[in-house]
Amino acid sequence: MDIRELYMNEEAPLDLLLLADPSRKLIDEYLNRGKCFVAENNHKLIGVYVLLPTRPATVELVNIAVAESEQGKGIGKQLLLDAIQRSKTKGYQTIEVGTGNSSIGQLALYQKYGFRITGIDPDFFTRHYDGKIFENGIWCRDMIRLSRDHF
């Protein structure tokens, strides 16, 4: 498996991006301003992540997703480690990520690789998304913010 930046004029894998974020509008916005990376295996795109510069020295991992058939095989971990390494190499000091209060697996993944919880954006999902989102039997309402500093 190879992780690389999306080629110029190559379409971002919308099907994968939508797994992490149901808002097409938000996806289009951060694809315009950020950089998209893909995991490719046998000419097939099986994973994606997007890095968006936010404040000085800070980059946000705004989307990370693995094709459903490939989940649970360590690809998400490899994408996350690649995002951490790339942001470090590019000179960023901090990498941030946000996830839903109901995203138990994602909260586990980020914390396993050094992210600490820095804050909560209450009702982020109720305000920005239509309809109720449920995951692991939990109503997804609040955004949990996490960050990892490169030392």
Q: What is the rounded CA–CA span in Å between residue 29 and residue 109?
A: 26
CB 124 within 8 A of CB 143: yes
120 binds ligand COA (CB under 6 A): no
Choices 7-15, 51-59, 61-69, 87-95; region in contact with ligand COA by CB under 6 A: 61-69
φ and ψ at residue 130, rounded to 5 degrees? -75, 140
Site for ligand COA in 15-44 (CB under 6 A): 19-20
- Asked if residue 73 binds ligand COA (CB under 6 A), the reply is yes
Q: Which residues pair with 65 in a beta bridge?
A: 48
What is the C-alpha separation between 92 and 57, in angstroms, rounded? 5
**Is position 77 an interface residue for ligand COA (rule: CB under 6 A)?**
yes
How far is Cα of residue 96 from the mean position of the Cα atoms in its chain? 10
Tell me: does residue 103 bind ligand COA (CB under 6 A).
Answer: yes
Closest distance between ligand COA and the C-beta of residue 74, in Å?
A: 4
Binding site for ligand COA (CB under 6 A): 19-20, 64-66, 71-77, 99, 103-106, 108-109, 112
